[in-house]
Structure 1
Amino acid sequence: MEAKIKIAAIAISIVIISGCSNDNSKTSEEIDQSTMNQAMGEMNHSNMMPDMMEGHMSHDQVIRLNDSTGENELKIPAVLEKDKGEGIVYTVRAQKGKTEIFDGTESVTYGYNGPFLGPMLRFEKGDTVKIKTIN
């Protein structure tokens, strides 16, 4: 009985694996090259329509991120003051802005109480906090 279960499991596995194959006409070299191209980040754009490329960044004009060797400080947002009155109440307002994430390149961004990300809210463990959101 145990041998029949093992044989059935192997047969099902073979069927599943063969069903997952994209193109059985490719040679193992073509499959290896295709896998390597995907791993290396290459993308074939030859079958894309010109209107699909609109707004697509060229792979030849790669913008590098700033390194994190300690020269670029982490910008901590300001602490938002709580609203006047009883309890701990904060009001945050969603807004659109522009931020220079890459040197010399402004990006459209969204944030709360500012153009990018949001302010820090400060409260203690166990506090009951109300956050009013204006969208």
Structure 2
Amino acid sequence: MIGPASPRQRLILAAAVAFVLDFAPGLLAARLLPARLQAFTAHGNGFIQPATCVVLAISLLLGGWIGGRRFLPIGVALVLLLQLMALALLVQIAHGAMPQRPLSVTAASVVAGNVPGLGLQLLAAALGALAGAAVHRRRPLPPLPIQESP
């Protein structure tokens, strides 16, 4: 017997859908869009990725539709975690390219250059999740059918 999904199951499903939908279209956009449309240089060594922001907002909109308003902190935390991992990777790459510079100077430079792009992605994530929660309030997902076992 399969019953309706619990709120916890919907949140797990929402996070999984948002995570997968963030990567799949993001990879497609990286392959299909010309390089000049993928990223804009914002400050020194930083950049803003508008296609990533749009894909992120759409994926979290779907996650918010599935999970409702309780998905907002989960979705934003998921994006923040991915951003922190990306920053750590960028710091490691920059430090490997310039090992004579102190790690703290390299990290400060990478973080300062990427704050606008990361802030824009967090804003897109929050707005997408909020829009998804609003859609969830208006049109909740239909309950799963209950199947009888023979």
Structure with greater proportional helix content: 2
Above 0.5 in TM-score? no
User: Higher strand share goes to which structure?
Assistant: 1
Normalised TM-score (structure 2):
0.18
- Asked which structure has the greater CA Rg, the reply is 1
